[in-house]
Amino acid sequence: MIDRRRFVAGLAAGGAGAVLPSWGRAATAELGFAELPAGAAAEQALDALPGKVPLIRKSYRPPNYETPVRYLGDVITRNDAFFVRWHLSNIPEVKAESWRLNVGGEAADKPASFTLQGLKSQFPQVEVVAVCQCSGNRRGLFEPHVAGVIWRAGAMGNARWRGVRPKDVLARAGVKKTAVEISFNGADAGAIEATPDFVKSLPVWKALDADTLIAFEMNGAPLPHFNGFPARLIVPGWTATYWVKQLVDIAVLAKPFTGFWMATAYRVPVGKFPVVDRFITQETAVNTPITQMVTNSLITNLRVGQRINAAQGLEVRGVAWDGGSGVAAVDVTLDGGANWMRSTLGENLSRYSFRTFALRVPKLAPGNYEVMARATSANGTTQTFTLIHNPAGYHHNVVQRIPIVAA
């Protein structure tokens, strides 16, 4: 990493057009990644769901809507701009007064049932700031393209979640020593009976983690309907496939859960990605369930081809996040990776949260620049420059490459 003062002096002396490495000129899409497939790019329509600002519609039924990047520059993502992700199309309008959370299963000592008010009054309420990110965020930017919802970079958001711990709720029902997993089921259902119910499981240790929540508030307000009202599971650090919405059933299991959304879907090949949080009871010789998010960042204030005033300089801003170790640093380059500068990190709300970053260069020489940002987590993992291919299009954390022009 080069000193910022020396780097800026070099830019002012000779511009940047001559120092771009050849691999750095490939970015042609708006955000500095590969573009969406033909057809999908033309269908990025803005559409407003009830209670939401216009979001980028991916599918209407089930509703899948992406947050535009302009809403992702703040450390907390506002509720009305938070992305929407559902697997099943029948999503009931749940009433808080009639909602019940049922807890049982073969490895529970005694079944229990709770109202929303019962949860709030009978258990300690806690809060965690955590990124909720779809496992397939940026799937549409894979080359070659893969099947699934064609997300760009906005299938994610960061919020302040408030609720009670499953650990406390499960203590009331009693977890037997034979328990190996805890399953979670929501109120949503498929359009036809043959559609697999969306049920996810967690290893007992993760379900009982002090940071795992049953949340009923998001950024100080009740959960929006499209984000899981009246209560949803929060699994900080892990991808959002486990964050079951409209939670109605918790089961303590004495053997691994074998439903479609665990045994078949949301799996990655063994050895493709660094794994800290292993889900051992669901592992096979060839694949493993996706668990924690990978280290990543997003530049939120620049677009490919943007023209800036060289005399006024440049500010690079964005957010970074990882799977729960916490963001340690974000380095920024203006010359396609030849030299890197350390950015300034914003407030650390939690180790699961977005961390904003900013780098200010007061003056630039006229010329072409390629801006990149690379996050590093506290456990030493960083972003990749080369896409790690996998069949379902998970864990896209390739560094952006954003060519701009200073004049």
pLDDT of res. 25: 35
Separation between Cα atoms, residue 370 and residue 25, nearest integer Å: 8
CA distances (Å), origin 311, targets 77, 363, 364: 33, 5, 6
pLDDT in tens, 233-258: 999 999 999 999 999 999 999 999 99
Give the chain's residues under pLDDT 50.
7, 12-28
Give the domains, in start order, of the chain with CATH numbers. Answer: 4-30+294-406 (2.60.40.650), 46-289 (3.90.420.10)
Separation between Cα atoms, residue 296 and residue 200, nearest integer Å: 25
pLDDT of res. 5: 53
Q: Residue 128: name the closest of 205, 214, 201, 204 by CA.
A: 214
In the 8-state DSSP scheme, what is residue 182? Answer: E
Q: Which residues contact 70 (CB under 8 A, 6 or more apart)?
A: 300
Separation between Cα atoms, residue 123 and residue 165, nearest integer Å: 8
Q: Which residues contact 335 (CB under 8 A, 6 or more apart)?
A: 11, 16, 19, 20, 369, 370
Separation between Cα atoms, residue 64 and residue 86, nearest integer Å: 6
pLDDT of res. 34: 72
Q: Where are the alpha helices (DSSP H) in 150-301?
A: 166-173, 204-207, 260-263
State pTM to two decimals.
Answer: 0.93
Q: Which residues contact 12 (CB under 8 A, 6 or more apart)?
A: 363, 364, 365
Beta strands in 296-349 (DSSP E): 296-299, 307-308, 314-321, 327-333, 341-342, 344-345
Separation between Cα atoms, residue 101 and residue 250, nearest integer Å: 8
**Can you name the residues that pair with 181 across neighbouring β-strands?**
203, 253
Q: Residue 305: name the closest of 391, 239, 403, 205 by CA.
A: 403
pLDDT of res. 186: 98
Contact 129, 237 (CB under 8 A): no
CA 219, 139, 72 angle in degrees (round to 5)?
30
